[in-house]
Structure 1
Amino acid sequence: MRAPLTVIHARTLTLDDALPEVQAVLVGGGRVLAVGSADELRAQAPRAEVLDHRDLLLTPGLCDAHIHLVMYGASLGEVNLAGARSVAEVQAKVAQRTVTTPTGTWIRGGGFLLSELGLGDYPTAALLDEVSPHHPVILYSRDHHMTWVNSAALRAAGITDATADPEGGKIVHPLGCLLEGASDLVVAQLPSPTEAEWLAHAKAGADDLTSRGFVSAHTMAYEEPGAPRAVQTLAARGELPLRVWACLPHQRLEHARELGLALAPGGLFQWGGVKFFADGALGSRTAWLHAPGFADGSGTGIPLDPPELIVERGRQAIDLGLTPVTHAIGDRANTEVLDAYDQLRPAAEARGIRLRIEHAQHLRPQDIPRFRGLTASVQPIHLQADAPMIRTLLPHLEAGSYAFKSLQDAGAILALGSDAPVAPPDVRATFAAATTRLDDGGRRLTPGETISDLDVLRAYTRGPALAAGWNDEGIIRPGARAAFTLWDRLGATAQALVL
């Protein structure tokens, strides 16, 4: 059992402007009690346990501000296609999984990009049939806005050449790929995880984050109801190693109102946001764009939740003390969400709620100043794979893509995440992407948008805390949560320390 009081002796970046760097931190009861020199704190608490980390750097604890936590945990056991460079490589990995999977059982995987597979068009079901004729296969693109399936999966969903596109989705012909809401036709056929499987997925995701140095996470609602229930169960059992701020899909908002769900801070799990989707994603050609759209002539993307709905249900969310949280990738999607948020700002400000835009990936210059006072929840790690696509598909938007410095200078609160399982919650890669702007090919995307190591640290700690309304996190000062990250050097190896 740890002593009631603990002194952590380490070079400490507090992110508190009043005292930005100290030598030691005194902790007790899960809270920071004092900061200062090691001698001062030992004099205050002579019987305190001393943790000597003078060879390391101590900072506020990391928070992944955009993750699908339970989905990520589940993905750790699926076919990993991140970095796959050809259709043949995908086929080989799927074929390998069929060897250990009973006939008729679903094979799931994801992480591929069309551009990295060398494809100029969508792949077909027949390509997967070659290696998996007896197992239904569903493979998610890296952005999770497209699925690639085989014929067995299509048959399970009853999809034929005559099947009409569902609202908010598109069935690609020849059959094999499903965009946006069309993927739900196949996803609905997947066997539902048992309660034990949900718990295992939730624990796997949370434990993985903790092993990378994270102390908290914002989980983003693109999951079945069993997922947040599993996280809540872990919290109730005292088995959740992270503090979690969760988003509710807007489709469940009325049910939540009937149950009396409202913001309930405290504990390691809380409902905090209501999630909307304004559009799709870049890699799947479903991001909603102003004209002229994609440079390859594939159109202007797919709008999803209409702005009027975001305004209407956003007001309902604010009435419950919950934060409207909207996915917006394309420049048109961001414009439309900013217009909607202009109508929501007075009510949000009256409740002390900071409106959020997730991704804010491609922006027109005139829209960047409109982010003042909002949370821009961004994912630098996506830049590494997206930059080549941006130069090819959106050359006219390159200057406003991943505009971290411009958003920060405009007065937005940056909150960094990974969008795992879309990308891994890789701390080192996130720091590198934000501070160098280097893509996977070694080229820089808009170098003027680089931010400093200290900016990244703030956006990985204090930014998410402010976005969630956690005044006691992302900073090291008396009263703050005793949740820290230890580093060998900033942006390198990290480990969580929660007392």
Structure 2
Amino acid sequence: MNRSLCLSMLALLALAPAVQAADLLVDNVNGYTLDSHGKLQHFQALLVDQGKVVATGSRAELAGRAGDARVIDGRGHTLLPGLIDAHGHVLELSYARNSVDLTGTKSLDEALAKVKAYAAAHPEAKWILGGGWNQEIWKLGRFPTAKELDSAVPGRPVWLSRVDGHASWANSAAIRLAGVDRASKDPSGGRIERDADGNPAGVFVDGATALIDAKVPAPTTQQKAAALDTALAEMASVGLTGVADAGIDLANYRLYRRYADEHKLTARIYAMVRDTGDDFDTISKDGPLIGYGNDFLTVRAVKLFADGALGSRGAAMLQPYADDPHNRGLLFMPPATMTAKIDKAFGKGYQVAIHAIGDRANREVLDSFAAAYKTHPDAIALRNRVEHAQIVSLQDIPRFVPLKLIASMQPTHATSDMNMAEDRIGHQRIKGAYAWQRFLKQGTLVAGGSDFPVESPNPFYGLYSAVTREDHQGQPPGGWYPDQDMTLAQALRAFTLDAAYAEHAEKTLGTLEPGRWADFILIDHDIFKDPASRIWNTKVLQTWVGGRQVYAAQD
């Protein structure tokens, strides 16, 4: 063979597609992913090796590169990157599922009947626990009372959290057991609702809930593990491959580490340590835990709380509530305390994420971050977050940019709150509420979440709310303040690439680019081509994490 022919053959071989190391080919799919720049890409097949993406592309191209990889036929179904919830509460999801669930009850009478039926079905329960109630949906015009709850369960203590988790409803037995009476003072950052005579009326707001919580038996280690199993299964069934758990304690931390060690996690957990107290001191002793167990567990953030919630009027407002002129909500701590907590977290190298609902709380958080950066200037690179950023003064929204803060927002909060939000804060302040486009247009990253179990963990509910700002019945037509709608690409980015960025993981999660973990889902229709009205009703067919199937829908 002459030298010229040999060189020609070598050149042709170099151009031929090489068989690459791969152990999985997901073929025949209608695939979508964002790239690292946020541009939507389309593909027909996905090649995976050792849990990571090798390539996406056409069926013919990847079939020629797959070698003897296992082949999964996607049957033409739509494939998306696994969705990431930037703000949820994992164990609480299971607790909510295994207690009295008042979510969606239409009246006080319906709720009381559910409580009574649950108590009758669980005679062994020393406490009747649950939540999900919303007096706004009941059209009650007030909070429910202990006496009303007594009519359902008079003997055993009952303790039921409001849908937002920032107020709870007790019966008289629970109040007596906690030793709360007329002489009890409102704790800092909390409020005891009272009757005309000053006695506890039955509802405890924000910091006051600790008065009853202290008497509720803590779940055992076995109960916590069972709760984690239940929550992981539900998350997989709705297409969540990752979640930022917004507030864990030491017991949860140890449970997560054990599950990571035993390879039992089926979703990637980005855990935020609740506050900077003793649990944080223990957890942070050796610094942040990053990418533990093949990136299934990261603990590198601290969760703080600035105020309460809008529905219970615990959100801290600059001006009084429009429907309660003597109330401006509750700040949980003085600014100096907030700054000191941020400083402590920064000193250990932890990102800080702060719950802020009201415009006053958001302003205090912005001020505290600005003050803490003076002591820790490098901490501005930690991708610090404002959780909810729900009602922000129009003059404060631009401040997110120089402070390099992420707005961690929950689209379903807008569609859940639209029945009462404007009543609470009026037409002018609503312009800075649930203001997704105002943040996006100035370049602020919006990380999408749900705050489950306050809202459903189903991320397609979030995508639907983000795109339409309508409820599941299509109301109001055209959306509630539709100028703040996201495009579907923006919404998908919030629940994938930007949720990953918010946890320092955009190089490994959030897209299906080569080298990223093969976290993906198959769904029953093309959300980019079908009407937006179908998004919330999307069915997840399969969920894969790290190239391993963790959920398959029943036929």
Return the match for 2:494 from 444, 451, 459: 459
- Structure 1 counterpart of 2:23: 5
| Kept in 2: contact 1:26–1:34 (CA 8 A) | yes
Aligned pair 1:489/2:526, yes or no? yes
Choose 198-207 or 396-405, whichever is displaced more.
396-405
Which aligned pairs between 1:327-406 and structure 2 lie closer than 5 A?
327-345=355-373, 347=376, 349=378, 352-372=381-401, 373-395=404-426, 396-406=428-438
Aligned pair 1:279/2:307, yes or no? yes
CA shift for structure 1 position 117:
1.7
Aligned pair 1:249/2:274, yes or no? yes
| Kept in 1: contact 2:47–2:62 (CA 8 A) | yes
Distance in 1 separating the partners of 2:142 and 2:31? 51
What secondary structure sits across from 2:76 in the alignment?
strand
CA shift for structure 1 position 252:
2.5
Compared CA separation, residues 128 and 224, structure 1 to 2 (3 A):
farther
Distance in 2 separating the partners of 1:185 and 1:229? 26
What secondary structure sits across from 1:138 in the alignment?
strand
- Structure 2 counterpart of 1:192: 218
Distance in 1 separating the partners of 2:223 and 2:377? 38
Compared CA separation, residues 39 and 319, structure 1 to 2 (3 A):
farther
Q: Which ranges in structure 1 are unaligned for 5 or more consecutive residues?
A: none
**TM-score normalised per structure 2:** 0.85
| Kept in 2: contact 1:199–1:231 (CA 8 A) | no
CA shift for structure 1 position 440:
6.8
Choose 487-496 or 22-31, whichever is displaced more.
487-496
Instruction: Provide the alpha-carbon RMSD of the alignment.
Output: 2.0
> What's the CA shift string for 1:292-321, capped at 9, x where partnerless?
434332411000133323322223322322
| Kept in 2: contact 1:318–1:351 (CA 8 A) | no
- Structure 2 counterpart of 1:173: 194
Q: Which ranges in structure 2 are unaligned for 5 or more consecutive residues?
A: 1-20, 196-200, 528-534, 548-555
1:485 is aligned with what amino acid? I
2:31 is aligned with what amino acid? T
CA shift for structure 1 position 258:
6.8
1:214 is aligned with what amino acid? L
Return the match for 1:230 from 255, 258, 264: 255
Which aligned pairs between 1:79-478 and structure 2 lie closer than 5 A?
79-102=100-123, 105-174=126-195, 175-221=201-247, 224-252=249-277, 255-256=281-282, 259-267=285-293, 268-345=296-373, 347=376, 349=378, 352-372=381-401, 373-395=404-426, 396-439=428-471, 442-443=475-476, 444-470=479-505, 471-478=507-514
Distance in 2 separating the partners of 1:366 and 1:126? 45
| Kept in 1: contact 2:87–2:243 (CA 8 A) | yes
2:502 is aligned with what amino acid? A
Compared CA separation, residues 36 and 344, structure 1 to 2 (3 A):
farther
Choose 278-287 or 261-270, whichever is displaced more.
261-270
CA shift for structure 1 position 42:
1.9
| Kept in 1: contact 2:40–2:489 (CA 8 A) | no
Which structure would you say has the larger Rg?
Answer: 2
Distance in 2 separating the partners of 1:481 and 1:7? 14
> What's the CA shift string for 1:10-44, capped at 9, x where partnerless?
23222114782222221011111122222222222
Return the match for 1:26 from 43, 47, 55: 47
Compared CA separation, residues 304 and 230, structure 1 to 2 (3 A):
same
Return the match for 2:34 from 8, 15, 40: 15
2:514 is aligned with what amino acid? P
> What's the CA shift string for 1:71-99, capped at 9, x where partnerless?
11111111111111211111100110111
| Kept in 2: contact 1:334–1:360 (CA 8 A) | yes
The percent identity for this pair of structures is 34
1:5 is aligned with what amino acid? D
Question: How many equivalent residue pairs?
Answer: 496
- Structure 2 counterpart of 1:480: 516
What secondary structure sits across from 1:172 in the alignment?
strand
Compared CA separation, residues 161 and 96, structure 1 to 2 (3 A):
same
> What's the CA shift string for 1:341-374, capped at 9, x where partnerless?
2234574656731010000111221122222332
| Kept in 1: contact 2:274–2:304 (CA 8 A) | yes
| Kept in 1: contact 2:85–2:459 (CA 8 A) | no
Distance in 2 separating the partners of 1:160 and 1:170? 13
Distance in 1 separating the partners of 2:268 and 2:389? 25
Compared CA separation, residues 19 and 132, structure 1 to 2 (3 A):
closer
1:393 is aligned with what amino acid? R
Compared CA separation, residues 232 and 369, structure 1 to 2 (3 A):
same
CA shift for structure 1 position 225:
3.7
What secondary structure sits across from 1:352 in the alignment?
helix
| Kept in 1: contact 2:99–2:130 (CA 8 A) | yes
What secondary structure sits across from 1:432 in the alignment?
helix
- Structure 2 counterpart of 1:43: 64
Compared CA separation, residues 45 and 348, structure 1 to 2 (3 A):
farther
Distance in 2 separating the partners of 1:459 and 1:242? 18
CA shift for structure 1 position 103:
6.2
Distance in 2 separating the partners of 1:143 and 1:400? 20
> What's the CA shift string for 1:140-195, capped at 9, x where partnerless?
00111101000110111111122122222111112201111111111111111111
What secondary structure sits across from 1:282 in the alignment?
coil
| Kept in 2: contact 1:263–1:321 (CA 8 A) | no
Distance in 2 separating the partners of 1:258 and 1:65? 22
| Kept in 2: contact 1:87–1:117 (CA 8 A) | yes
1:249 is aligned with what amino acid? R
Compared CA separation, residues 350 and 226, structure 1 to 2 (3 A):
closer
1:245 is aligned with what amino acid? Y
CA shift for structure 1 position 209:
0.4
Compared CA separation, residues 203 and 291, structure 1 to 2 (3 A):
same
**TM-score normalised per structure 1:** 0.94
2:429 is aligned with what amino acid? L
- Structure 1 counterpart of 2:552: none
Distance in 2 separating the partners of 1:37 and 1:348? 47
